[in-house]
Amino acid sequence: LLGLKKQVAVVMEDLTHGFVKPCVLDMKMGTKTYAEDTNPFKKKLRQMKDDGTTSSRYGLRITGFRTYNVKTNQFLECSREAAERITTIDLLESNIQLFFFNGNE
């Protein structure tokens, strides 16, 4: 282990355990999603991802969600692929609203 960089990681437990119909939103916050010491190849890939989504411009990017609609009694999911198409502020806002709308007015 000599010479290896010690990294700190956050380990989360299943926060949805015990909920009957949990709703989960995965959102990245910040205008860049890489650390300054990221290797140049990974850094370039992440910069391209940030520039092609809402991260660079608005500091937020949805990477996916699952929410429950009480009127239809169904879950609605936004997959990773669908989330990659959220590239404007209007789409970002409408998807955030969609996540928090439970089917009632």
Give the pLDDT confidence of 2-48 residue by residue, as tens digits: 566 777 888 889 989 999 999 999 999 999 988 889 999 999 999 99
E strands along 9-92, which residues? 24-29, 60-69, 74-78
CA atoms within 13 A on the CB side of 56: 9
Choose between 105 and 2: higher pLDDT. 105
- Tokens 């990221």 appear where? 38
Q: What is the DSSP string of 83-95?
A: HTT--SHHHHHHH
